[in-house]
Amino acid sequence: MVSDTLTRKLDLTFRHLDANGDGVISDDDAAGLVTRMLTAFGESETSPKGSALVSSMQSYWEFLLSHADTNGDGVVDPAEFRTAMVKAYVKNDKGYQQAFAPVAAATVHLADVDNSGAVSLEEFELVQKAFNNPVENTREGFAKLDRNGDGKLSVEEYLLAIREFYTSDDPDATGNWLFGQV
């Protein structure tokens, strides 16, 4: 059984991916998120950071689709998405490490524009914009995720937040603030 907290987070994730709002996620939606992220950071899909994001998102999408598309129609609806995310990543650390962790790392490294090993509030806001997340959620989320209070998210803090957001049932997990209050 999946908690209400995790269900809300997965439903929000579905809305982030469903770029055209048609109620399903397709190849085009996954590619659209990559395009929004690359555009937000002014990266080409052939740059090292862009290439890492493109290839990791493609692997994530293929892995998710293999677990989610139970009727073979090439798209994923909200129920399929929830079930697949739990099966493929929440209850499967190997799946998380294989397909989700690389896209999380590529996202964080893309956001670390100056290669400082940390993400500033401004860089974090660009990620949030690419995910179509309302800006009012950004600052409070950033402050909560900045566990050591140094005004930036280390790569480790950011990756931990991503993992907690997408896999934790704990309603008090700090990572729940990845996209603001859920």
**What is the per-residue pLDDT across 71-106, written as a single tens digit (0 to 9) for each?**
899 999 999 999 998 988 888 889 888 988 999 999
- The CA dihedral of 174, 176, 181, 182, to the nearest 10 degrees, is -150
Containing 153, the helix (H) or strand (E) segment is strand 153-154
What is residue 11's predicted lDDT score, i.e. its pLDDT?
A: 94
Question: Beta-carbon neighbour count of residue 62 at 10 Å?
Answer: 12
Q: Which pLDDT tens digit goes with each residue over 51-74? A: 999 999 999 899 888 889 888 999
Q: How many CA atoms lie less than 13 Å away from 57 in the CB half-sphere?
A: 25
Q: How far is CA 65 from CA 6, 60, 73, in A?
A: 20, 8, 10
Question: Domain limits of the chain?
Answer: 4-177
Question: pTM score, two decimals?
Answer: 0.89
CA–CA gap between residue 69 and residue 76 (Å, rounded): 6
Q: Express each pLDDT in 128-162 by its tens digit.
A: 999 888 877 788 999 999 999 999 999 899 999 99
- Inter-residue contact 112 to 153 (CB < 8 Å): no
Q: Cβ(3)–Cβ(171) under 8 Å?
A: yes
59 vs 88: CA distance, rounded Å: 13
Q: What CATH number belongs to 4-177?
A: 1.10.238.10
Report yes or no: 25 and 76 within 8 Å, Cβ to Cβ. Answer: yes
Q: What is the average per-residue pLDDT within 104-115? A: 94
Sorting pLDDT into bands at 50, 70 and 90, what band is 29?
Answer: very high
- How far is the CA of 42 from the CAs of 13, 34, 168, in angstroms? 23, 12, 32
List of E strands, 46-121: 118-119
